[in-house]
Amino acid sequence: MAIVYSDARPADLVIKDEIDRSKNPRNIIVVSSDHEVINYGKKSSCETMTSEDFIARFFSKGNEKEELEKINP
């Protein structure tokens, strides 16, 4: 996993460049609510999800409970 900062470049271009440079785009999960970026990821065989789905999946109250149960069985 990596966090890539776009600095002065538009984030959409940075995401597309990362996909294009990847030897295996199937290993990339594109998280965006921009339809153009999502479609580009899908056409490149990436897994995609919207930003809203990402937040619901990884930051929901249910996940917090699961994580606490793993830490304190």
**Residue 26 DSSP symbol:** G
Which of 45, 31, 34 shows the shortest CA–CA distance to 2? 31
* pTM exceeds cut of 0.75: no
Contacts of 9 by beta carbon, 8 Å cutoff, 6+ apart? none
Which H or E run contains 48?
strand 47-49
Look at residue 56 in the predicted model and tell me its pLDDT: 85
Res 4 pLDDT > 90: no
Per-residue pLDDT tens over the stretch 20-52: 999 999 999 999 999 999 999 999 999 999 999
If you average pLDDT over residues 44-73, what whole number do you get? 78
pLDDT at 70 over 70: no
In angstroms, rounded to a whole number, what is the distance separating the alpha carbons of residues 26 and 50?
Answer: 17
